Structure 1
Amino acid sequence: MLGIGIDWAEEFHDVAFGTVEKGVIEQFRIEHGPSGVATLIERALRLEPDPAEIRVVLETRHGLLVEALIDAGFAVVPVNPDLVARRRGPARKKDDAEDARICCLLALDRHAMLKTLIPHGDIGGELRAIGRDDERAARDQRRLLNRLRADLQTTYPAALTLAGSDLGAPTVLRLLERWPSQPELAEASREDLVAFARAGRHGWPDRFADQVEHALAVPGLPTRDYLVRAKAAGIRLAAVQLLALHDARRGWEKRMAELLLGGPRSGRDHTVKEPDPGKAFPGGDIYLSFPGLGDRLAARVAGEIGEHIAQFDTPNAQQCYAGRAPVTRRSGKNDFVVARRLAHNRYLGDAVHQWAFCSLTRSGWAREFYDTKITTGKSHHAAIRALGNRWLEILWHCLTKGVAYDENIHVTNRNRALGRAA
């Protein structure tokens, strides 16, 4: 067996080769590019012709370097950077070549409980990438909406009156893009407002014009003219950005549904008429059968877990990966529980947290579980974490058995486990 340790960077990578008999035998540096990676693969195959017997340890599980090593047939083992840091010695001095040597020694230690990376397939990889982009876009939307609301409160109160509780509505954003200040909107005629509503396919153009006139007639505190002029360009920019984010997220949501079920949805019932199992994510219908999981959340959870549920030996392994499983610390007389693991997949953890919250209004036992935790003195987030931990356990059993979630079956089993009548 050949062990390879890599300390990766953006421009170059430090590499260490080693064998079980001799330990680390050579160290060198390669450039991050096709020629450098090809050199690494060629030198590794020269020492060990069988790619399956080459074990690579590095501190990341994503990127072009990881994909190239997987395509070459190597066993890639990603590790947490803290694991390498703990083996640097008392001083823990950071050195790229030394980190590569430590990774090489980890690769040679078959007793180390390190799991080989199981890469995502094409469907799972696309689903994960779209889900992460959608999650980042959702954060950008909240940030831009908060900033836009603050600007409108000081210079454009009529827009807030018109928007009501839905400032991110496309009609409101298009109106701010065209008339980014209240004086400009006040100069618009009723015919302009009706034509604008019709161009945006508003259902009631005349009613929209009445709403705008009513919002302009609402008395408010005076605004500074210089501030109105200064904020107009920023308001228009925020509206344009929010419209672009809205369109992108709608396209992503449509693509998520296609990847989960193997075909585009159509009709009022939003069902897939002719699903193609070969183009569907494995178990996509199982994810969508859970209460609280729509297309977006189901795609985020499924994309982070991946197509191979067998990589998690137990439900606890999946819970630890999502950071939902509590960690017990015992030493002498001290005994306390850490709320969640520091090393976990944060994208999956955030998605499960939202899933648990959304399930409160769609699952009777989930609401009962949450209320019980609150009654015992747990905080809201602690109760949601515990509920998410339970949902992951149920999800693992459904995926391993290949069955959709059934609320009645789960409630019956839960009541039997609790020793009470259904």
Structure 2
Amino acid sequence: MLGIGIDWAEEFHDVALGTDEKGVIEQFRIAHSPNGVAALVERALRLEPDPAEIRVVLETRHGLLVEALLDAGFTVLPVNPDLVARRRGPARKKDDTEDARICCLLALDRHQTLKTLIPHGELGGELRAIGRDDERAARDQRRLLNRLRADLQTTYPAALALAGTDLGAPTVLRLLERWPTQDELAAASREELVAFARAGRHGWPDRFADRVTEALAAPSLPTRDYLVRAKAAGIRLAAVQLLALHEARRGWEQRMGELLLGGRRTGRDHTVTDPDPGKAFPGGDIYLSFPGLGDRLAARVAGEIGEHIDQFDSSNGLQCYAGRAPVTRRSGKSDFVVARRMAHNRYLGDAVHQWAFCSLTQSGWAREFYDAKIAAKKSHHNALRALGNRWLEILWHCLTRRVLYDEDLHVANRNRALGRAA
């Protein structure tokens, strides 16, 4: 067996090679380039011809370097950086060469229970990438909307009155892009407003023009001319950016549904008329059977878990991976519980937290569970973490048994476990 420890970076990687008999035998540095990675693979295969017997330990599970090592057939064992930090010695001195040596020793230690990386397939990898991009775009939307609302409050109150509670509506954003100041909107004729609404496929163009007139006629505090001039370009820029984000997220949502079900949703009922099982993510219909999981949220959860649910030996393994499982600390007279695990997949943890919140209005037992936690003096987020932990347990059982979620069946099993009458 050959052990490889890698301390990775953006431009180069420190590497340590070792064997069972001699320990670490050599250390060197390679460039983050095709030639550098190819040289590492060739050097390792000269020492160990069987790629399955080459164990690689490094502090990441994603990236082009990891994919190249997997393509070479090596066994990749990603570890948390804290595991390496605890082995640096009393001073905990950070040194790239020493970290590579420690990773190599971890690779040679067969008694170290390290999980072999099971890579995502094409469907899972695309779903995870789209889900992460969509989540980042949602944060950008909230940030831009908050900034746009603040600018409109000081310079363009009629736009806020027109938008109401839906400032991010495409019609409102297109209006701000075309007329970024209140004076420019007031100068537009009724015919221009009707034509604008009709071009944007608004259902009631005349009614839209009347709403614009009412918003402009509503009394408001005077605005400063210099602020209006200064904010006009920023308002138009925010509107353009929000429209682009809206269109991108619509396309991503459509693609998420295709990946989960193996075909495009059509019709008013948004069903897949002719699904292709070969193009569907494994268990995609199971994810969508859960209350609170639509295309976007189901794609985020499924993309982070991956196609291979068997990589988690139990539901607790999945809960720990998502950071939902509490950690108990007992020592002497001290006994306390840490609610959130520090080492976890934060993308999956955030998605499960949102899933738990969305399920409150769609699942009776979930609402009952949440209310019981609140009655027990738990905070809102603690109650959602506990509910998300329970949802992951149910999800693991459904995925391993290849069955859709059944609310009535789960409620019956829950009542039986709690000793309640049916």
Please, what TM-score do these two structures have when normalized by structure 2?
1.00
Residue 221 (structure 1) aligned with residue 221 (structure 2): yes
Alignment of 1:42-121 (within 5 A): 42-121=42-121
Q: CA deviation at 1:282?
A: 0.1
Please show how residues 276-315 of structure 1 align to structure 2 within 5 Å: 276-315=276-315
Partner of 2:161: 161
Taking the aligned partners of 2:268 and 2:170, their CA distance within structure 1 comes to 22
Q: CA deviation at 1:128?
A: 0.2
Number of aligned positions between the proteins: 422
**Cα distance in 2 for residues equivalent to 1:113 and 1:48:** 22
SS in 2 for 1:232: helix
1:315, distance to aligned residue in structure 2 (A) = 0.4
Identical residues among aligned pairs (%)? 87
Per-residue deviation, 1:54: 0.2
Deviations 1:38-80 (A, max 9, x none): 0000000000000000000000000000000000000001011
Q: Secondary structure at the match of 2:202?
A: coil
- Any idea what the Cα deviations from partners look like across 1:369-391, whole Å, max 9, x if unmatched? 01111111111111010000000
Q: Displacement, 1:269?
A: 1.0
**How far does residue 190 in structure 1 lie from its aligned partner after superposition?**
0.5
The equivalent of 1:200 in structure 2 is: 200
Residues 1:135 and 2:135 aligned together: yes
CA distance in 1, matches of 2:314, 2:21: 34
In 2: Cα distance, 1:420 partner to 1:175 partner = 57
Alignment pair present for 1:28 and 2:28: yes
Q: What are the within-5 Å matches in structure 2 for residues 224-263 of structure 1?
A: 224-263=224-263
Distance 1:32 1:381 in 2: 42
**Corresponding residue of 1:38:** 38
Aligned partner letter, 2:219: P
Distance 1:409 1:7 in 2: 49
Deviation at 1:268, TM superposition (A): 1.1
1:331-342 → structure 2 map (5 Å cutoff): 331-342=331-342
Distance 2:162 2:382 in 1: 38
Give the whole-Å Cα distance in 1 for the aligned partners of 2:273 and 2:106: 51
Letter paired with 2:154: T
Q: Determine the structure 1 residue equivalent to 2:416.
A: 416
- Structure-1 residue corresponding to 2:269: 269
TM-score (structure 1 length as normaliser): 1.00
Question: In the alignment, which residue of structure 2 is the partner of 1:373?
Answer: 373
Distance 1:419 1:55 in 2: 50
Q: Give the 5 Å matches for 1:146-185.
A: 146-185=146-185
CA distance in 1, matches of 2:164, 2:112: 58
Once the two structures are TM-superposed, the CA of residue 109 in structure 1 deviates from its matched residue by: 0.6
> 1:403 is matched by which residue type in structure 2?
V
3-state DSSP of counterpart to 1:405: coil
Question: What's the counterpart of residue 5 of structure 2?
Answer: 5
Aligned residue identity for 1:400: T
Unaligned runs of 5+ in 2: none
Counterparts of 2:352 and 2:111, CA distance in 1? 32
Q: CA RMSD in A?
A: 0.4
Shift of 1:270: 0.7
Q: Per-residue CA shift, 1:238-284, capped at 9, x if unaligned?
A: 00000000000000000000000000010111111110000000000
Distance in 2, Cα, partners of 1:95 & 1:356: 42
Query: Equivalents in 1 of 2:381, 2:13: separation in Å?
Result: 41
Q: Does 1:191 align with 2:191?
A: yes
Q: Measure the CA separation in 1 of the matches of 2:192 and 2:237.
A: 22
- In the TM superposition, residue 215 of structure 1 has moved relative to its aligned partner by 0.2
Divergent runs of 4+, >2 A: none
Deviation (angstroms), 1:347 = 0.3
User: 3-state DSSP class of the match of 2:324?
Assistant: coil
- In structure 1, distance between residues paired with 2:362 and 2:109: 48
Equivalent residue letter for 2:58: L
In the alignment, residue 115 of structure 1 is paired with which amino acid? Answer: K
| Uncovered stretches (5+) of structure 1, i.e. residues with no partner | none
AA at the equivalent of 1:312: F
Q: Distance in 2 between matches of 1:390 and 1:38?
A: 45
1:56 alignment partner, SS class: strand
SS of residue in 1 equivalent to 2:133? helix
